[in-house]
Chains A and B, each alone.
Chain A
Amino acid sequence: MALLDVKDLSVTFARRGQRTVHAVDGVSFSVDAGEVVGLVGESGCGKSVTSLALMGLLPRQRGVSVGGSAIFDGTDLLQLDQRSMRDVRGRDVAMIFQDPLSSLNPVIPIGLQVTEVLVRHRDMGREAARKEAVALLDRVGIPDPQRRLKEYPHQLSGGMRQRALIAMAVACQPRLLIADEPTTALDVTIQAQILELLKELVRDSDTALIMITHDLGVVAGMCDTINVLYAGRVVETARRKELFAGRRHPYTVGLLRSIPRLDAGRGEKLTPIRGSVRDVLPWTEGCAFAPRCDFRVDACLGEPPAMTPTHTGHEYRCVNPVPLSQPEEARA
């Protein structure tokens, strides 16, 4: 039984006088306890919005509508009212965001930002919370945690800020952690450290992790299962090895092919995906990737392709997928 089972999640933004945006258009995936699941895709594919929808953090305005279901441990998160959701957030499901500096309150000390989670969800007293906060900061690798309690965000480095945010997220030992591009704003060396830290935490406490990123390198290093998103829908999902060895969806192929390679010959041209994210077809009219797809056939238009399941659990949403064992793909 999966810890989190997302089925047909959809998020639409409607604004007066403008076209309705289907940011998330039927996303389905599942996460088991202790599993690291990646959500991969270009900017604008809906991965961040998916995570916000799961957390109930989408702006509560008239034009925003959420559909589908997200069953977390028996409860549909999307049906919970605000109050119950506030109990779930931070305690059962926690989230880490992209920019650590702007994600921290600049006028209160770090210690308070950690203890407030403990006080809220674990009902700890001030002294107990403070001790626990020191332990948490230490756990995430912040040196001299006792002193850090009283410091302010602007006094910490970028890596330390992100570690502090991770400490706040795992403070109550949530069963599911969502990390939205946690390393994008950091230096490369710090990136590796933060990812290591996340892996450790996940391993030690059997927390499930949803890793949202556009960086395939990150995904390759961390995730057990990878979901590739395009235009608000999952177009391929596979266990890590299978995805990299035997990807089928042309978009995934395009993503992998567009990574510059160190062993490529000098002067060899890069191969980006044709067109841009905006050259998209609505899923109702066929495959959204079709305008940019090199493997396009007639059947790609008209009906949205369904997910083709395989016996290994690898699924892809394509009627004309990339055949296995391609000569030029042998390099990967």
Chain B
Amino acid sequence: MRSTIPRGPRMTLAPGKKKEKLDRLAELSAVRDDEQGVSLWREAMRRLRRNPSAIVGAAILVIFVLVAVVGPFLVPFDPVDQSGIREGVIKPGSIPGSSAEHWLGYDHQGRDEFSRLIVGARQTLIVGIVSTLIGLTIGVTIGGIAGAAAGLGGRWGRLIDSVLMRIVDMLLSLPSLLLAVSVAALLGPSLTTVMIAVGVVSVPIFARLLRGSMIAQANRDYVLAASSLGVRKSRIAISHIVPNSLAPVIVQATLTLATAIIEVAALSFLGLGNPDSTQPEWGLMLADAQVYLDVRPGLAIYPALGIIITALGFTLLGEAMREALDPKLRR
């Protein structure tokens, strides 16, 4: 029997429907291999958009920022005007609550609570952002120098890295509150003091984060590739390593915003904040209201809720960002 099978690709199918159907089915079943490479950020944005807690967090933040920015222009009363005292409604042991005019009632110094709450949002936002920025800039600078020195500098570089990290570790060896308290003790009680104190507390976190991230990146193959192509080390550091190390820093900044607001409240509670409670700020309002908890719990509850919800918003968004930016979770 002669072999009827010729060599090479053998198309023994008759042309016509079945062949086309087959080819089409084969095409459909084949996974598309020409997916464009997506950048980390774009992929992260895509994941974020699908993550419900990210959406909730972002929504909270948008509302918060809106209230903070626009709110003060729309409040019914002047937040510093102690109208309640003038009107004689504030008596010891009795602070009027919600009414038609004053939606959340008066505070212990006769000011409109609602207006204070709204205006306080702005101050709280500023406080949170400033503290975080302080910590971020200083921390990132230190961490960046340490990381770059460790990667680039050989003996001197490692020494610089060592010294810087020792200093950072020293800051870390103190519980955050004590550190904040020491800073505050130096500067005297005021809002600025508290912001600086809280900022200083977060410096070690950012420093270690960026340094660690940079060192991890420095060990990656693409750095080796760039260096073998002759790219100068300093350029590698600036153009390649730093951008890729930023992701965890951004996540941490978001999370730090949440804790900054809470820590500012704690420091105010301890008496290190602005002794003058005229300008409303949620942390300060919460601290002041503790004494009146049995008389008017609302005075504490409203700013507390504000702080909790805002911190929650930042935390939700931050955690969602962390998940979204984690390359290990790539499907």
Interface residues of A (CB under 8 A from B): 274-276, 278-282, 285-286, 290-291, 294-298, 301-302, 323, 326-328
B330 at the binding interface (Cβ < 8 Å): no
Distance in Å from the Cβ of A269 to the closest Cβ of chain B? 12
**Residues B12 and A296 in contact, CB atoms below 8 Å apart:** yes
Instruction: Say how far A251's CB is from chain B's closest CB, in angstroms.
Output: 15
B9 in complex: contacting residue of A274, A326, A328, CB < 8 Å = A274
A285 and B25 contact, CB distance less than 8 A: yes
Complex Cα gap A162–B109 (Å) = 76
Cα of A276 to Cα of B26 in the assembled complex, Å: 11
Distance in angstroms from A266 CB to nearest chain B CB is 21
Distance to closest chain A CB from B209 (angstroms)? 28
B21 at the interface (CB under 8 A from A): yes
Given the known inter-chain contacts A296-B12, A326-B3, please indicate yes or no for A301 contacting B18, CB distance below 8 A. yes
* Contact call A301/B12, Cβ cutoff below 8 A: no
Is B229 an interface residue, CB under 8 A from the partner? no
| Distance between B46 CB and nearest chain A CB, rounded to angstroms | 14
Q: Does B30 contact A (CB under 8 A)?
A: yes
Contacting pair A290 B22 (CB below 8 A): yes
Q: Is the CB of A294 within 8 A of B9?
A: yes
Question: Which residue in B5, B9, B21 is a CB contact (below 8 Å) of A323?
Answer: B5
A281 with B3: CB separation less than 8 A: no
Chain B residues, Cβ within 8 Å of A275: 26
For A302, what are the chain B residues with a Cβ–Cβ distance below 8 Å? 18
Which residues of the other chain, A, contact B9 by a CB distance below 8 angstroms? 274, 294
- In angstroms, how far is the closest chain A Cβ from the Cβ of B299? 47
B18 contact set on A, CB distance < 8 A: 298, 301-302
In the bound assembly, the distance between CA atoms of A328 and B25 in angstroms comes to 31
A99 to chain B, nearest CB (A): 18
| Interchain CA distance A285-B21 in the complex, whole Å | 10
A-B contact pairs, 21 of them (CB 8 A): A278-B29, A279-B29, A279-B30, A280-B29, A281-B29, A286-B22, A291-B23, A291-B25, A291-B26, A291-B29, A294-B10, A295-B5, A295-B10, A295-B12, A296-B11, A296-B13, A298-B13, A301-B18, A301-B21, A301-B22, A323-B3
Interface residue from B3, B10, B14, B30 paired with A278 (Cβ < 8 Å): B30
Q: Is B170 an interface residue (CB 8 A)?
A: no
Q: Which residues of A contact B26 (CB under 8 A)?
A: 275, 279-281, 291
The A interface is mostly helix, strand or loop, or mixed, namely loop
Docked complex Cα distance between A279 and B26 (Å): 5
Of chain B, the residue at the smallest CB distance from A293 is: B10
Contact of A281 among B10, B14, B22 (CB under 8 A): B22
- A162–chain B nearest beta-carbon distance, Å: 27
Complex Cα distance, B7 from A294, in Å, reads 9
In the complex, chain B residues whose CB is within 8 Å of the CB of A297: 12-13
Closest residue to A320 on the B side, CB-wise? Answer: B12
Chain B interface main SS type: loop
Additional 7 contacts, C-beta under 8 A, given A278-B31, A281-B25, A294-B9 = A276-B30, A286-B22, A290-B22, A291-B23, A295-B12, A301-B22, A326-B3
Q: Which residues of A contact B21 (CB under 8 A)?
A: 301
Q: State which residues 1-46 of B face A: CB under 8 Å.
A: 3, 5, 7, 9-14, 18, 21-23, 25-26, 29-31
Give the residues in chain B near A276, CB-CB below 8 Å: 30
In whole Å, how far is B247's beta carbon from the nearest beta carbon of chain A? 27
Nearest residue (CB) in A for B32 is A278
Nearest-Cβ distance from residue A217 to partner chain B, whole angstroms:
26
- A53: shortest Cβ distance to chain B, in Å? 23
B21 CB to closest chain A CB (Å) equals 7
Q: How far is the CB of A289 from chain B (nearest CB, A)?
A: 11
- Tell me how far the C-beta of A63 lies from the nearest C-beta in chain B, rounded to whole angstroms: 16
Question: Smallest Cβ distance from B32 to chain A, in angstroms?
Answer: 10
Q: What residues on B are CB-neighbors of A278 within 8 Å?
A: 29-31
B13 / chain A contacts, CB cutoff of 8 Å? 296-298
Contact between A298 and B14, CB atoms less than 8 A apart? yes
A-B residue pairs, 8 tightest by C-beta:
A291-B26, A278-B31, A294-B10, A278-B30, A279-B26, A301-B18, A279-B30, A280-B29
Among A274, A294, A295, A323, residue most surrounded by chain B Cβ atoms (within 10 Å) = A294
A280 to B22, CA, bound (A): 10
Q: Which of A274, A290, A298, A327 has the most B CB atoms < 10 Å from its CB?
A: A298
How far is the CB of B15 from the nearest CB of chain A, in Å?
A: 11
Residues of A within 8 A of B10 (CB): 294-296
Q: Could you say which residues of chain B place their CB within 8 Å of the CB of A323?
A: 3, 5
Residues from chain A with a CB closer than 8 A to the CB of B14 are 298
**Residues of chain A with a CB closer than 8 A to B30's CB:** 276, 278-279
B22 and A291: CB pair below 8 A? yes
Docked complex Cα distance between A281 and B21 (Å): 11
- Per the bound structure, the CA–CA distance linking A279 and B33 in Å amounts to 12
User: Which residues from chain B contact A285 at a C-beta distance below 8 Å?
Assistant: 25
**CA–CA, A243 and B11, complex, Å:** 26
Residue of A nearest to B12 (CB): A297
B5, B9, B23 pick with most chain A CB within 10 angstroms = B5
Report the nearest B residue to A274, measured CB to CB.
B9
A301 to B23, CA, bound (A): 11
Residues of B within 8 A of A295 (CB): 5, 10, 12
Quote the shortest CB–CB distance from B170 to chain A (angstroms).
33
- Residues of A with C-beta under 8 A to B29: 278-282, 291
Q: A326 to B14, alpha carbons, bound, how many Å? A: 24
B11 surroundings in chain A (CB, below 8 A) = 296
**Which A residue sits closest to B28, measured CB to CB?**
A281
Complex: A302 Cα to B25 Cα, angstroms: 12
In B298-318, the 8 Å CB interface with A consists of: none
Per the bound structure, the CA–CA distance linking A177 and B5 in Å amounts to 42
User: Max chain A CB contacts within 10 Å: which of B9, B14, B26?
Assistant: B26
Q: List the B residue with the shortest CB-CB distance to A280.
A: B29
Q: Which residues of A contact B23 (CB under 8 A)?
A: 291
CA distance A286 to B22 in the complex (A): 10
Chain A contacts for B3, CB-based, 8 A: 323, 326-327
Kindly state the separation between the CA atoms of A328 and B23 in the bound complex, as whole angstroms: 28
